[in-house]
Amino acid sequence: MGSGITELLRSSSNDIWSRILNHSFVIELFNGSLPMNKFNFYVIQDYNYLITLTKCQAIIVSKLEDPQVMRTVLELALADVTTELENYNKLLNRLDLRLEDIIKIKPSPTNTAYMNFLLNTCTLGTPYEGLVAILPCYWTYLEIARYHAERLKANPIDVYRDWARVYLSL
């Protein structure tokens, strides 16, 4: 492991990472035993989160001065909007969920608290504080997908496999 700040943060929080990687929801999703109603609930919450993430990225860009950093964040935002949201629109169709219904569903209290934290941090903090606030999502999804890649191969549920494979391509 290197000596960068991310390596230091990662190694100093192994207990948290272990709980994330071994959470029952994650295990069940990757091995295919997660009840579909739980996955549907998650997808609805995550879609709301992705909309908030896009807003946060726009706020961050509006505060940046360095054109190269602006471009990097804009490219990340564009990838999220075009890839993630496009994949979610397809996923909603596969789950027989309609976008117009999804956007009317009130986010859960936990999701609302997290989205408010992100929006507040990005709005009131520096652009770099905003970037640090949104980093865990990308990092965690990538780590989860890599950690459970073998389990995913044997997953009998097509929609779960297809959803998770997106994160293996990061």
- Those residues whose C-beta lies under 8 Å from the C-beta of residue 81, and which sit 6 or more positions away, are 54
In CATH, what number is assigned to the domain containing residue 16? 1.20.910.10
Three-state DSSP state, 56: helix
Residue pLDDT, tens place only, 138-155: 899 999 999 999 999 999
Q: Are 20 and 39 in contact (CB under 8 A)?
A: no
For 19-27, what is the mean pLDDT? 97
Residue pLDDT, tens place only, 35-45: 999 999 999 99
What's the number of domains the chain is made of? 1
Q: What angle do CA 131, 104, 76 make, to 5 degrees?
A: 25
Q: What is the pLDDT of residue 114?
A: 98
Name residue, tokens 């990225």: 57
Tell me which H or E stretch contains 46: helix 36-63
Residue pLDDT, tens place only, 116-135: 999 999 999 999 999 999 99
Q: What is the pLDDT of residue 88?
A: 87
Q: What is the pLDDT of residue 157?
A: 96
Residue pLDDT, tens place only, 50-84: 999 999 999 999 999 999 999 999 999 998 888 88
Radius of gyration of the chain (CA): 17
Q: What is the pLDDT of residue 3?
A: 65
What tokens does 70 get? 């602006």
Its pTM surpasses 0.95: no
Domain that holds residue 163: 5-168
